[in-house]
Structure 1
Amino acid sequence: MGEKAMGPLFLFLTVLFFVGSQSCPEVCRCVAKKKYGRHIADCSYKELREVPLGLPSNATTLTLSVNHITVLRGDSFEDLFDLQALWLSYNEISNIAKGSFAFLVQLRAIDLSHNRITDFPWGDLSNLTALQQLKLSSNLLEKVPADAFHTLKDLRSLWLSDNRLTVLSEGTFDSMPRLSLLQINHNPWNCSCKIWWLKTWLENTSVSIPEKESITCAAPERRKGLIFGRSLSMDCMRPSVQVVYHSHLGRGILHGGLSVLLHCTAMGTPPPEIRWKIQTSSQNVAISGANVEEGGNSLADTTSKHSKRVPFLVFKNGSMVISEFNKADEGIYTCQAQNDAGSQEDSVSISLASSESLADQPQKNIQDSKPQNKSCYPKSEEKIVVIYLSPVLPKTSSSGATGHELWPWAALLVSFLLALSC
């Protein structure tokens, strides 16, 4: 081959070499296993105090284990879009910036065990939908958000052992259908009703839970050291709740206008707390606890002569009075009962409607329209209470003349409509 032909060929091979090559920090060892499509950057055991610069952008595996790294910055893994495995165990990491892992969308495994992490950027996990293995064991984590793993549909292994976890929110693991291995041992679990759901979940799950005998109670004192298993007795019951509508009020509490009484019956162990939620076309209101004294006086500020009407009066027994009910008060009224074992809610939808056709119907108490079979209740969203405004009725006077009068509010006809019959 002539010298002229060699020139272009040499130039082509030189360009190809530089295009295909990637930089590698001097302290690391970079290896390409083209047969398997893997590019490994090994920076372990190098006494590193931070993530080195100049990492190859085509790396699929990055090993930084057994160093002295303390901080992960937001740009520590910048441009490593092909990264599938990240090993960071046995460092001194205590600070992880939000976004450090957010763009590693190809990541399948990450090991952050044996560090000093107290605050993990849980939001970064929402982008890591390909993640299959997550190791956070042997850190200083005190809590895990309820939705921390909600996008990790493909996660198989999760290590949370040897941390400072005392409770976990119910449903923490429900969004991971492929989870097959979970380690939560050696945590100071608070074996109150807040974690009763986890005891039940551990007893029924098919997920492998190694070292179950090391899942023990640290509190309360009477359960300290007990193994978190079937033999652990916990007197807990999730709340049950039902909203009942009453057609009239006792006298002496409220005066004038149409008033509606709802009563929330809730049972559970420990005794649940009641919270009312009101959703109308113009407002969303949440009321925790009573806002009315035992004597029926509102706890709202009434010192001003121009004080506004207080439409929702909640009593300690769970009852709510909607005073002077009007069109603006139409909406969904929900009673939520919550204790350490869980929460439950029941709702009723209340509307006002005028009906001239009701003039010929007899007066009827709401209790007569309830189903007699107490075990038959509609679903919460199927309860509808329609309050009909009474029409003007003709009345014959003693002299034979015809006059008109309004039914008083206590004689209003109230219908309880159930979308599904028993």
Structure 2
Amino acid sequence: MRVVLVCAMLSLLSLAHACPKECSCNSNTKVVDCRGRGLYDIPRRLHPDTQELYLQDNRIRGLGSMAFREIPLVRILDLSNNSITAVSPTALLGLRNLQRLSLAYNNLREIDKRLLGPIRSLSHLDLSHNSLWGLPGAMGENLRNLSHLGLAHNRLTRLDRSLLEALTHLDSLTLRDNPWRCDCQLIGLKLWLETYLFKGGVMDEVLCSQPEEMRDRDLQKIPYQLFHACMTTSYHYLFANIHHLESERLLRGHTHGNHAHPSSHALHVPMAMGEGFGGGGGGGGSMPECETKQKQRPVNLRHAIATVIITGVVCGIVCLMMLAAAVYGCAYAAIMAKYQRELKKNEELAAAQGADHATADDKEPLENAIA
């Protein structure tokens, strides 16, 4: 009787996890193929041992919370070429083994920073051919093992440098066909790209769409001289914010009686040179050469002051070296002039003495002849 009951339970369990009728399944390779079946939703009754799930070329419009809870072992998930416009922040919750994820050729406008939080093994992420305006910088903390990132054919005008700096294992990157705005805020991306390519990274291109004078120019080939106005403005902006935040700190300390630990009053100064150099915002300042900036990463005031002091010391040393070189050059010129004068004088003296000897020799034969 117990044997019959166990068999019945196993039979029910196998039926519960049978291959969905819309898909084809391979129990040996643990692959479920649901491509081009006109699906509007994720199929149900997927086997929990599924490791590869292919859902491209369907009509799926969104991914709800824990949409793949039935297949926690899946490694490859392809959702490309659907009509996905919204993805729940917890849609991928439980997929701790996911290595490759494709959401290409959809209609995504944004990605929540929590979406990839539980996944630490992701190595391939394709978000190309969407309508993404940007990616949250905090998302980079969840992508430290990523080796490929596809962002081509979106609506990106800039990209947070903090996101890219977190991708320490990135080998290939696609950024083409985005309306990049090559202004002050893109200097950070330019600096990161140079380091990335120097280390052997592979990427396509970043062609500027704005401003008009930089249209169709590759960001990697634009000289830094064209960003000189942004850099000059950034330094003025930086010191203006230092003064503003120092006054704010003193006022806050007076209001609260200075009871907090000194470290709690540490000032943070927003820099103003793109993602790598920070953005605008904060203390009410603005940059005449650039548009309103996104929220930037703060920089400690003491670090900023130390940087200024070190820069001043270096400049002072350079000036002293230039002064020493000028003094040495002048002294050398004076010594050489004096040497030339003395040499000329000695030559004239020798010539005069030679003339005297010649006159004496002429007179001696004459005297001998008279005698």
Tell me the TM-score normalised to structure 2 length: 0.65
Q: Does 1:347 align with 2:302?
A: yes
Query: Match of 1:336?
Result: 269
Task: Check conservation: 2:45, 2:70, Cα contact below 8 A.
Answer: no
**Counterparts of 2:8 and 2:135 in 1: how far apart (Å)?**
52
Q: 1:375 maps to what in 2?
A: 313
Q: How does 1:56-95 map to 2 (within 5 A)?
A: 56-95=47-86
Q: Distance in 1 between matches of 2:91 and 2:260?
A: 48
CA distance in 2 between counterparts of 1:138 and 1:187 reads 10
Instruction: Give the aligned partner of residue 167 of structure 2.
Output: 176
Pick one of 20, 36, 44 that aligns with 2:35.
44
**Structure 1 contact 217–223 (Cα < 8 Å) conserved:** yes
Matched, 1:199 2:186: no
1:271 corresponds to:
236
Q: Residue 229 of structure 1 aligns to a residue in which SS?
A: helix
**Larger Rg: 1 or 2?**
2
- CA offsets 1:307-364 (integer angstroms, 9 cap, x no match): xxx9529xxxxxxxx879976588345361521341544239xxxxxxxxxxxxxxxx
CA distance in 2, matches of 1:32, 1:118: 36
2:112–2:136: 8 Å Cα contact kept in structure 1? no
SS for the counterpart of 1:312 is: helix
1:364-403 superposed matches below 5 A = 375=313
Task: Give the match for residue 134 of structure 1.
Answer: 125
Give the distance between the partners of 1:225 and 1:289, measured in 2 at CA: 43
SS in 1 for 2:194: helix
Q: Give the partner amino acid of 1:312.
A: L
Deviation at 1:268, TM superposition (A): 5.5
Task: Name the structure where strand makes up a greater proportion of residues.
Answer: 1
Q: What does the per-residue CA deviation read over 1:94-130, in whole Å, with 9 as the maximum and x for residues that have no partner?
A: 1112200122111010111001011223312111101
Cα distance in 2 between the residues matched to 1:72 and 1:230: 40
Conserved 8 A contact 1:73-1:96: yes
Partner of 1:235: 227
Residue 21 (structure 2) aligns with: 26
* CA distance 1:115–1:330, shift in 2 (3 Å): closer
Q: Which residue of 1 aligns with 2:92?
A: 101
Determine the structure 1 residue equivalent to 2:46: 55
The verdict on how the C-alpha distance between 1:101 and 1:227 changes in structure 2, with shifts beyond 3 A counting, is same
Task: Please give the alpha-carbon distance, in whole angstroms, between the structure 2 residues aligned to 1:275 and 1:236.
Answer: 20
- Structure holding more helix per residue: 2
The Cα offsets for residues 212-248 of structure 1, whole Å up to 9 and x where unpaired, read as 2xx2111122212211113444325998xxxxxxxxx
**What SS does the corresponding residue of 1:195 show, helix, strand or coil?**
helix
1:235–1:269 Cα contact (<8 Å) kept = no
Q: Give unpaired runs (5+ residues) of structure 2.
A: 279-298, 304-308, 315-371
Percent identical among aligned pairs is 21
Query: CA 1:125–1:327 in structure 2 vs 1: closer, same or farther (change >3 Å)?
Result: closer
Change in CA separation of 1:271 and 1:19 when aligned onto 2, cut-off 3 Å: same
Determine the C-alpha separation between the residues in 1 that align with 2:258 and 2:61. Answer: 61
Alpha-carbon distance in 2 for matches of 1:157, 1:203: 18
1:211 corresponding residue in structure 2:
204
1:164 aligns with 2:155: yes
> In structure 2, do the counterparts of structure 1 residues 337 and 158 end up closer, same or farther at CA, with 3 Å as the change threshold?
closer
Taking a change above 3 Å as real, the CA distance of residues 40 and 237 of structure 1, as seen in their structure-2 partners, is farther
1:295 corresponding residue in structure 2: none
Letter in 2 for 1:272: Y
Extract unaligned runs of 5+ from structure 1.
1-6, 240-266, 278-286, 292-309, 314-321, 349-370, 377-422
1:149 has 2:149 as partner: no
User: Distance in 2 between the 1:227 and 1:71 partners?
Assistant: 35
Match of 2:177 in 1: 186
Superposition deviation, residue 134 in structure 1? 0.4
Q: 1:268 and 1:155, CA in 2 relative to 1: closer, same or farther beyond 3 A?
A: same
Taking the aligned partners of 2:52 and 2:126, their CA distance within structure 1 comes to 16
Paired residues of 1:181 and 1:208 also in contact (CA < 8 A): yes
User: Aligned residue for 1:417?
Assistant: none
Q: Find the partner of 2:110 among 115, 119, 124.
A: 119
Question: Deviations 1:292-316 (Å, cap 9, x if unpaired)?
Answer: xxxxxxxxxxxxxxxxxx9529xxx
Alignment-mate amino acid for residue 57 of structure 2 = V
- Work out the number of aligned pairs and report it: 280
Deviations 1:121-159 (A, max 9, x none): 331211110101000000000011112121222211110
Do 1:192 and 1:340's aligned partners in 2 also have CA atoms closer than 8 Å?
no
Separation in 1, partners of 2:42, 2:114: 22
Determine the structure 2 residue equivalent to 1:381: none
CA distance in 2 between counterparts of 1:219 and 1:337 reads 24
Report Cα offsets for 1:263-296 as digits up to 9, x if no partner.
xxxx76463244459xxxxxxxxx66988xxxxx
SS in structure 2 at match of 1:110: strand
Q: How many angstroms apart in 2 are the aligned matches of 1:225 and 1:290? A: 44
User: TM-score, normalised to structure 1's length?
Assistant: 0.58
Distance 1:149 1:237, change over 3 A: farther
Partner residue in 1 for 2:217 = 226
Distance 1:375 1:86, change over 3 A: same
2:124 maps to amino acid: Q
Q: CA deviation at 1:374?
A: 5.5
